Chain A
């Protein structure tokens, strides 16, 4: 059967080969990544909404002053290294 399909592939330019595994794996990885991003901090198109942007918003709303903003920002930078 495989031989037949393989023949088909070689003959017609379609049909499964070992490389078909690549597509499910690709989608699985992509979906996994999107779910991971969602769980981690909201929708993936807003994935940047982590420490720094939360901090920016707190500063923008006046919840923290400039000194505290700088201190916390520096701590976040340290954490990224």
Chain B
């Protein structure tokens, strides 16, 4: 099955074209990505699904410019990441990409509010106060801004991480198993905030997950197995995703 021809033309916030990633060489070479081509549309919530070892995290890392491809191309907007120097790549990530990881990766000595604006401060950028208010209220953190990470629950810490990712008003937010360290209630909350970021703030979110319930929040689910895209569902539900995953041996 391949994706149906899109009736509505959307611009791609990010794109992979024949993306290939090989770890090692010779007999021990492992093909993590095998000529993957995918458009990640702007203003949508896309889930990248697959069993562990399917290449979904590798795809995210390569598209986000955290890792480089062996062959093929990835684009953020119109920019081919392969043409950028390390420094230009750092600047592009700074200006156009937000990250949310499974481990919240907050700075423990700073308050929630300080963590959210730290990337902007270090980059010497002015913080857009109105936008920041909107982001903070979207993730429901208003009364927690003066707390340090250690004083917050896992779910609250991940909300801080989501707010931090959105604060720079990125073109695209990559979330790698954002609910992996959370109980189901806190996990559902985080997914709800990512959903609102797309619906209410017009952001673009790409989430890597192996959890069918998480993927059901997305507008689209792309399935990877053995480094290839094997399916592409519009408006996935937990049931359709679960069904697809079970045939992949996830």
- A residues adjacent to B (C-beta < 8 A): 41-42, 46, 53-54, 56-57, 59-66
Which chain B residues lie closer than 8 Å to A62 at the CB level?
99-101, 104-106, 161, 164-165
Contacts of A56 in B (CB 8 A): 122
In the complex, the answer to whether A61 meets B87 with C-beta atoms within 8 Å is: no
Judge whether B99 and A63 touch: CB under 8 Å.
yes
Q: 1/0 per position for B202-224, CB-CB distance to A under 8 A?
A: 00000000000000000000000
Cα distance, A7 to B142, chains bound together (Å): 79
Number of A-B contacts (CB under 8 A): 44
Q: Which residues of B does A touch, CB under 8 Å?
A: 66, 87, 90, 93-94, 98-101, 103-108, 118-119, 122-124, 161, 164-165
Task: Verify B100–A63 contact, CB threshold 8 A.
Answer: no
Q: Is the interface of A mostly helix, strand, loop or mixed?
A: helix
Q: Binding site of B, secondary structure by majority: helix, strand, loop or mixed?
A: mixed
A-B contact pairs, 21 of them (CB 8 A): A53-B122, A56-B122, A57-B90, A57-B119, A57-B123, A59-B105, A59-B107, A60-B119, A60-B122, A61-B93, A61-B119, A61-B165, A62-B100, A62-B104, A62-B164, A63-B99, A64-B105, A65-B101, A65-B103, A65-B105, A66-B105
